[in-house]
Amino acid sequence: MNITNMSVQLKRKMNFFIVILGIWLLPKAEALKCYQCMNSDPEGCTDQEVECPSENHQCASVFLKGGLSNQKIQKKGCVLPEKCGEYSEDYRVVKSLLISKCCNSDLCNTEPVPEPSEPVPNGLQCFGCFEKDCDKIVNCEGIQDHCYTQTMSVDAVTLTLKGCVSKNVCSTGESNSVEESLGNKSRCCQGNLCNAAPTDALKCYQCSTSNPGGCTDKKEEVQCPDKNHQCASVYKKDKYPTFDLFNYQLKGCVPSELCGNFSTDYGDKKMFKMIQCCNSDLCNGQLISEPESVPNGKTCCLGKKCSRTLKCEGNMDQCFTTTTAVLSLEGIEKGCTTKDHCALKTEFKHKYFGSNVTCCQGNNCNQPKITPTVKSSAITATASTSIFAGLLIFLVLFS
């Protein structure tokens, strides 16, 4: 390689690195400044200037109308582009309308959103309900062009929401596979009464109470969202040495995967959760009583370092360890639990029991494992930087 060619290549490489350096040093896109306020006055609200949390946000003026009292609210602030537009919902017992008008320059959201005229029926009909009476029909209005069904889980019991919605609600409300596995599903469809319950779904009693005698005198009939649900009676009680907490019973539709006894003993507290299921219409009229606390001969470790042992009771014949993280602090709990609890899928453990659980069989099998310490050598940051810089200079000059 002659001196001239070497000089040309060196200049090219230097120009390349100058371009890369220029890209690194380019100023980041700045976040917008927007007016922000909230008021129930339909004429608008008093503005204050705020800087949006990121350059992806836009300024917006928002009109919201809905709720049980049909309240009207004017808002201004920063929103993400996907939240711009018009959203309309009617679930028969409650309806709402949200209009979000967006703009993309500093302090551009000066004007409030004018209150729209009352919508008129558009010919579409959907089933509408919240929890019960899901065979009732709603006449959709305005831009409500889809029927909607959402299921949500409360202490394993699935509640259902149905009604008319606009297309924008569908695009932001579709659930993912993880949510679906937890019983939280959102589905839109088009066509009159397309959100009807499947014909093979069970009818179950539904109620809730803190009365130890159960809620049989207050139960209502509901239809489950799909054939994967069974009728169930749920008993939940957190028992501490001097008091009880969350002592109540539920009835309703429950995903089949959640049927069983999920009681857990942490030593200083016992958490009873039993879900008795059946698979025929209105079969869940029975009550559940607290199981007897009789030692079963099994023992499990307590404490992070297994400083104590716990005598297991009833169906709690498995040892467990849970690991949770709160504000970057790791917490470890141990104790006795049931086979049903251990057999749950990971996503169900997180959703319904608050933490991941690892289980084992055998007395005190959940004691911590001791692993040998292995020393490793490492190059210091300064040495690594020097080596990298040397290689870079070598490539620039001689390649």
* pLDDT given for residue 281 in this prediction: 96
What is the average per-residue pLDDT within 133-147? 94
| Block residue for tokens 């005698």 | 213
Question: CA-to-CA distance for 127 and 130, rounded, in angstroms?
Answer: 10
C-alpha dihedral (112, 113, 116, 122), degrees to nearest 10? -170
Average pLDDT score over the chain: 80
Check residues 162 and 22 and name the one with the higher pLDDT.
Answer: 162
* pLDDT given for residue 397 in this prediction: 34
Check residues 162 and 10 and name the one with the higher pLDDT.
Answer: 162
C-alpha dihedral (27, 28, 34, 37), degrees to nearest 10? -130
| Angular region, 208: left φ>0, alpha ψ -120 to 50, beta rest | beta
pLDDT band at 359 (very low <50, low <70, confident <90, very high): very high
Say which range, 180-189, 205-214, 312-321, has the weakest mean pLDDT. 180-189
How is 230-263 classified by DSSP, letter by letter? Answer: EEEEEEEEEE-SS-EEEEEEEEEEEEGGG-EE--
Question: CA-to-CA distance for 163 and 131, rounded, in angstroms?
Answer: 12
Domain 31-117 CATH class label = mainly beta
| Single pTM value for the model | 0.71
In single-letter form, the type of residue at position 41 comes to D
Q: Are 158 and 254 in contact (CB under 8 A)?
A: yes
Q: Are 205 and 251 in contact (CB under 8 A)?
A: yes
Question: CA-to-CA distance for 375 and 92, rounded, in angstroms?
Answer: 66
Question: CA-to-CA distance for 165 and 85, rounded, in angstroms?
Answer: 14
Domain 31-117 and domain 201-291 have a common topology:
yes
For domain 294-369, which CATH number applies: 1.10.3330.10, 1.10.287.10, 2.10.60.10, 1.20.210.10? 2.10.60.10
The proportion of the chain whose per-residue pLDDT surpasses 70, expressed as a percent, equals 76
Q: 381-398 and 3-25 are packed helices; what angle lies between their axes, rounded to 10 degrees?
A: 130
In single-letter form, the type of residue at position 326 comes to V
Q: Are 263 and 314 in contact (CB under 8 A)?
A: yes
Start-to-end CA distance of the chain, whole Å, equals: 10
DSSP β-bridge partners for residue 229: 255
Q: Are 308 and 364 in contact (CB under 8 A)?
A: no
Tokens encoding 276: 């008795």
Q: Please give the CATH number for the structural domain made up of 201-291.
A: 2.10.60.10
The proportion of the chain whose per-residue pLDDT surpasses 90, expressed as a percent, equals 47
- Residues 73-132 pLDDT 10s: 999 999 999 999 999 999 988 899 999 999 999 999 999 999 899 999 999 999 999 888
Domain ranges of the chain: 31-117, 119-196, 201-291, 294-369
For domain 119-196, which CATH number applies: 2.10.60.10, 1.10.760.10, 2.40.280.10, 3.40.50.2300? 2.10.60.10
What is the average per-residue pLDDT within 203-215? 79
Tokens encoding 184: 């939280």
- The whole-angstrom distance between residue 32's C-alpha and the CA centroid of its chain comes to 29
